[in-house]
Structure 1
Amino acid sequence: MRYAIMVGTEDYPHARNLDRLLAPANDVEQFGTLLSDPRIGGFRVTPLVNRPLREVSTAIEDRLLSATEHDTILIYISGHGILTEDEMLHFPMTDIEADFYRSGALSAQVLKTQVDLSRAKSVIVLLDCCYSGAYFSTKAEGGFNLDSALVAGGEGRVVITATTGTHAFEPLAGGNTEIVSYFTQALIAGLSTGDADRGGDGLVDTAELYQFVHEWLSLNAPGQKPVHRDESVGKIVIARNARGFGVHPELPPQIQRGLQSDDHKTRAAVLGYLQRLAEAPGPEQYLAQESLTYLRKSADHNDQIMDISVSTRQAPTWVLRQMVIDRHNDLNVRIAALFELSTKSTTNNAARHDLISLGRNGSLEILLRIRIAAELGRVVGESYAVGVLDEMVGPTMGKFAWDRLRILLADVYSSNMRWTRGWDVSDLFADPELLWGLVMAVMMAVIGISYDHRIKAVKQLIDMHRQDDIGVKVAIGMLRDQSLDTEIRSRIQREFGLA
């Protein structure tokens, strides 16, 4: 899941040396609206405007320390930043009393420690306040080890601050009640227009956003220079391109305009042209294939890929193979592409070759490889299925695994109840998703997948299928195995937070 805690403080009624600010409430409202837009940020936003320290610190701590390795957390703070006499950065809240900064302000040191201890996959910190660059001189309690954080499930930590210096600026009011600070204006401009998508792949990562903000501020607020610190592995995506899917930057301009047209027929016609080029040997084939890959990677993981007319039935076999491999695609899209490739392979040698190559791809997720093995055994030949399963359950065991898998699938599709023996299933049949979770759990068990790999498979499934909690339902199915010993049962419950 994607969560954003957005703090904006503009009123400090009990602090003598802190002037009232004009922008923070607007900053949170306007930037928060953008982040919560499912077409752009897709975050679940918690706005905290002019709230007391206890409420803010509790909200941040709860979100960071309760996060799982599948979560992305964004912390945004707009307001005053202050340095104490020992030059430690603090963020005062609205209930700060006089000059008691330590007891009335959120400590950057505490925040950094919580960020570093969080199990969240990714944490993004955006600070729009004076002295925010001092965040980088703040040491987390106990220090931070990137390697251990990643082992704990993180993809990394990214911080972008409004300034290296003393001040982060608000525009002059001039009677305007909708003031937004310069730094937040830059964030909004980059995401709302899609201009921060420098790679043209339909996604805005934090490095691209910083580059846009830096250039925007150099033009519009030359005295303010932002700072970027990236302790991550790979790209951390903060938003989708607001203009929709990306197009390959080397395509001719008229083709780019056609793909981004509001007219569905125009998009379909241009896409059809690209598909024909991709299948025909020639100087333009490679660029056409790369362009179609761009479209798939940047499509919304729900059904935007269908909206641009890239349906599995229209796609050439090499596109179907890539759709199965591409981890940007949702599980439903990948399975649909696999089934279509399997159907085509009965009459198409290229499809048959692509299906076999998928079976040899050891980097694919465990449950997906089992599905590929089943399709290989059904339409290509038993020996291919056995070869795939040999790699998964151990040499010489593939034949046994295939026999068990084939019997299980026949039982499931014929509604034969033999597969439920030894499993507590009495209350699951009212929920189809729970039932299919159980089927996947039984399947992994009967073909001999180890417990370590079963747990790994559930984690992969959670990553593959982000729209619901089907992965957790597979874990629930695993717990219905009455032969589980206490240690394994406790481990599954602990890994997936199941009582």
Structure 2
Amino acid sequence: MACHEYGDPGLRRLRSPAEDAEALGRVLRDGAIGGYDVRTLVNQPAHVVNQALDDFFADRSPDDLLLVHFSCHGVKDEDGRLHFATPDTRLGRLDSTSVSADLVNRLMGRSRSRRIVLFLDCCYAGAFARGMVPRGGTALPLREQLAGRGRAVITASSAMEYAFEGGDEPSETSPSPGPSVFTGALVAGLESGEADRDQDGWVTLDELYDHLYESVRAVTRHQTPGKWAFGVQGGLRLARRGRPVATPAPLPPELADAIGHPLAGIRAAAAQELGRLLAGRHAGRALAARLALQGLAEDDSRTVSAAAAALLAAHGGQEEQLTAPADPA
């Protein structure tokens, strides 16, 4: 859900939401990365967004992975309840003219899915700083409003900070402002594969948050992404690595020692363990194993070199590039 046009004079027009929606939707649809079924709502009135959310969360299975992304102004009412602003939002009539966090929370709670991730690219304290438009409101008890089992919430900023738009004002040479700081980092992390921190070929919830935190803080120290997870079991995979792993992951120290051991028998045993890693599901370790086997293929011992060469041949030769394996589910 993205909104940059507002009828209420108290809500300043934003530049990035439409770009946020287009860029994130493109990456999530990409079969090599997300393969998600994406629906985008841009500048739609509150009742349309509310109904779309209701339909989205209904009739789901427990194993369905659901992602929701808001890029808009965030405002709160007199009781401190968060609302997401739409073009028809009236600041004096938030209950009837906005998308309330209470509604989103109730819909998530009713859904049978136990894997729901909510991204909020809006802020809770308004300010303007150097060409970046803040996204409205003041502090709110997000944890209390969006708690529940099997859900995760990642916010663009803390409760007392701004969520900034990216780039400068559009011009003749640069007609598009580009995504916001937060969503721009989200898209870049998925598209480049940089969010795959352990290089196993998958981007998990925790990895994505770590990437967002570092990327956003590198742009502005006045914005700190937050994360809350409620009942999320294990490392929740959100996407595949979009590009081949280019940096090998470290091998276990014992295996690294065995590769350089003076006894050929131990090096030959190391080759067999490298073959197991090469066939495994961790892309970074598989790349490291391939590189190590390439070295052992030149070993002085014919037994070691023959074993290494055979393992490389069994797994696509010496130059195969590695991307995320297919999801076993």
Please state which band the TM-score falls in when normalised by the shorter chain.
0.7 to 0.9
Correspondence 1:82 to 2:75 = yes
Name the SS of the counterpart of 2:41 in structure 1. strand
State how far apart, in whole Å, the 2-side matches of 1:296 and 1:219 are. Answer: 28
Which residue of 82, 95, 102 maps to 1:102? 95
State how far apart, in whole Å, the 2-side matches of 1:50 and 1:69 are. Answer: 31
1:20-77 deviation digits (Å, cap 9, x = unpaired): 1111011100111011111111111000000011111111111112211231110000
Give RMSD over aligned pairs. 3.1
Partner of 2:127: none
Partner of 2:162: 167
Cα distance, 1:327 vs. partner? 9.7
Contact 1:91–1:108 under 8 Å retained in 2: yes
TM-score between both structures, scaled by the size of structure 1: 0.49
Matches for 1:263-274 after TM superposition, within 5 Å: none
Higher Rg:
1
Partner of 1:294: 281
1:72-97 deviation digits (Å, cap 9, x = unpaired): 11000001000111111100111123
Which residue of 166, 171, 177 maps to 2:175? 177
Partner of 1:395: none
Which residue of 6, 11, 18 maps to 1:12? 6
- Give the total of aligned pairs: 264
1:356-412 deviation digits (Å, cap 9, x = unpaired): xxxxxxxxxxxxxxxxxxxxxxxxxxxxxxxxxxxxxxxxxxxxxxxxxxxxxxxxx
Gaps of 5+ in 2: 125-136, 252-263, 287-312, 316-324
Correspondence 1:283 to 2:270 = yes
Higher relative contact order (CA 8 A, sep 6+): 2
Contact 2:200–2:283 under 8 Å retained in 1: no
- Could you say if the C-alpha distance between residues 211 and 295 of structure 1 is closer, same or farther in structure 2, counting changes exceeding 3 Å? closer
- Could you say if the C-alpha distance between residues 87 and 298 of structure 1 is closer, same or farther in structure 2, counting changes exceeding 3 Å? farther
Name the SS of the counterpart of 1:45 in structure 2. coil
Partner of 1:472: none
Cα distance, 1:245 vs. partner? 5.9
- Could you say if the C-alpha distance between residues 135 and 242 of structure 1 is closer, same or farther in structure 2, counting changes exceeding 3 Å? farther
Cα distance, 1:239 vs. partner? 1.0
Partner of 2:26: 33
State how far apart, in whole Å, the 2-side matches of 1:187 and 1:27 are. Answer: 10
TM-score between both structures, scaled by the size of structure 2: 0.72
State how far apart, in whole Å, the 1-side matches of 2:75 and 2:219 are. Answer: 25
Gaps of 5+ in 1: 1-6, 147-155, 252-276, 300-312, 316-325, 330-463, 465-499
Percent identity, aligned pairs only, is 31
Contact 1:36–1:45 under 8 Å retained in 2: yes
State how far apart, in whole Å, the 1-side matches of 2:45 and 2:65 are. Answer: 25
- Could you say if the C-alpha distance between residues 287 and 230 of structure 1 is closer, same or farther in structure 2, counting changes exceeding 3 Å? farther
- Could you say if the C-alpha distance between residues 296 and 80 of structure 1 is closer, same or farther in structure 2, counting changes exceeding 3 Å? closer
Partner of 1:226: 225
- Could you say if the C-alpha distance between residues 40 and 327 of structure 1 is closer, same or farther in structure 2, counting changes exceeding 3 Å? closer
1:457-479 deviation digits (Å, cap 9, x = unpaired): xxxxxxx5xxxxxxxxxxxxxxx
1:91-129 deviation digits (Å, cap 9, x = unpaired): 011112353112111111111121122111411100000
